Amino acid sequence: MLVIMEKTASESSIQRVKEKIVELGYEPHLIEGHERITVSVLGNQGTEDRMYLESLRGVLEVIPISKPYKLASRETHLENTIVQVGEVKFGDGNVVMIAGPCAVENEEQTIRIAIAVEKRGAQMLRGGAYKPRTSPYSFQGLGEEGLVILAKAREKTGLPFVTEVLDTETVSLVAQFADMLQIGTRNMQNFALLREVGKVGKPVLMKRGMSATLNETLMSAEYLMVNGCRNVVVCERGVRTFSNHARNTLDISIIPAWKQVCHLPIIVDPSHSSGRHYSVIPHALAGLGAGADGLIVDVHDRPEEALCDGPQALHPEEFSKLMEISKGVCNSIGKTIGTGKTA
Ligand code: PEP
Ligand code: MN
């Protein structure tokens, strides 16, 4: 790390910085520039050290050189990580398609939609048994019953499923059923939940917080990893901006930035970014163009009856169209998408 001193920093403040660096167990090196003094700090620094040095008078700024995330960083793991869920592989250079209803509403609905997306080439099923709803009066999900239904849909279609875990109390229950645990956008910085989910050893789909920076997202992935989960897939699902023409603003710019610094796969949720069915395909294609390792899409055969997020659900026929166009895009960049089935 580099400690940049103010132009007007006194000799005694520079001396104090050097002493503090030694106290912390590192070696200070003075770099005398034209305008100011910079002290470089040699040694394997801890996360609190920056704060201690930044509190000293005469210090303008402390610039970390190495990354605060270690396990998620490409510096420590050069190759792309491939996250495997059953037979499905995220991050192997191809695109994984996850599809299904926003929420598990009942057994019939879930199995119908699971069959519809499987026939059309989806590799995984999505569906919430526990739903994080803005309003306490909205449908909250079927809970454990929903997990049982998802397991039946898996049995019927062979599709592994991803489902959200909302709180620490239900982590082990959800993990008994699910092939992949989802951390929702509202929980990306629920550190207690990240710790528990990290410990259970199932692959995780972690959605980016709706106002989280790249670094904050990386640090949350780091929480999962340091607690034992190395199979983390991150999902860009749109962030909050001044724009109000879509539910969220799909920030595809995070994809190349993510891949530059992190070896974990990143996928896009064009349903929760757009909020409306007519924008789902454009958002999905933008994600593929930016290099996403997968898509997670809401599909419902009766969106007008859906208990959650009907306006953003694709009809199965629209999902077929998404698959067809995506295949064209993926072929042109040397990738495959889905299982290859079409309907
Ligand atoms: C979901 O995928 O069902 C969901 C609630 O998404 P998000 O956490 O991105 O809002
Ligand atoms: Mn939803």
Percent of the chain having pLDDT more than 90? 95
Asked whether residue 68 carries a pLDDT value surpassing 90, the answer given is no
pLDDT band at residue 316 using 50, 70 and 90 as cut-offs: very high
Minimum CA distance residue for ligand 1 atom 6: 184
For 174-223, the pLDDT digits (tens) are 999 999 999 999 999 999 999 999 999 999 999 999 999 999 999 999 99
Q: Answer yes or no: is the C-beta of 272 below 6 A from any ligand 1 atom.
A: yes
Query: In the prediction, which pLDDT does 129 show?
Result: 98
Å from CA of 5 to ligand 1 middle: 45
Q: What is the mean pLDDT of residues 291-315?
A: 98
CA of 223 to the centre of ligand 2 (A): 25
Distance between start and end Cα atoms, the chain = 56
Lowest mean pLDDT across 31-35, 170-174, 278-282? 31-35
Q: In the prediction, which pLDDT does 228 show?
A: 97
pLDDT tens-digit series, residues 115-141: 999 999 999 999 999 999 999 999 999
| pLDDT confidence of residue 66 | 83
Q: Which two tokens stand for residue 88?
A: 């499905």
Nearest ligand by distance to the CA of 312:
2
pLDDT of residue 42: 87
Listed residue (91, 87, 115) closest to 101, CA to CA: 115
Q: Which ligand is nearest to the CA of 234?
A: 1
Residue 76 has a pLDDT of 87
Looking at every residue in the chain, the average pLDDT score rounds to: 97
CA of 23 to the centre of ligand 2 (A): 51
Q: CA 102 to CA 185: how far, in whole Å? A: 14
Residue 95 phi/psi, 5-degree rounding, is -110, 125
What pLDDT does 67 receive?
Answer: 87
Q: Identify which of 182, 247, 312 to mutate to test ligand 1's pocket (most ligand atoms within 8 A of the CB).
A: 182
The confidence score (pLDDT) of residue 322 equals 98
What pLDDT is stored for residue 65 in this prediction? Answer: 87
The DSSP string of 72-126 is TBTTT--SPPPEEETTEEESSSSBEEEEE-SB---HHHHHHHHHHHHHTT-SEEE
> What pTM was estimated for this model as a whole?
0.93
Torsion over CA of 206, 123, 290 and 301, rounded to 10 degrees? -90
Asked whether 209 lines ligand 1 (CB < 6 A), one says no
Mean pLDDT value of segment 287-306: 98
Ligand 1 atom closest to Cα of 184?
8
Q: Does the beta carbon of 132 sit less than 6 angstroms from any atom of ligand 1?
A: yes
The stretch 237-260 carries a mean pLDDT of: 98
Asked whether the predicted pLDDT for residue 55 surpasses 90, the reply is yes
The residue-averaged pLDDT of 302-319 equals 98
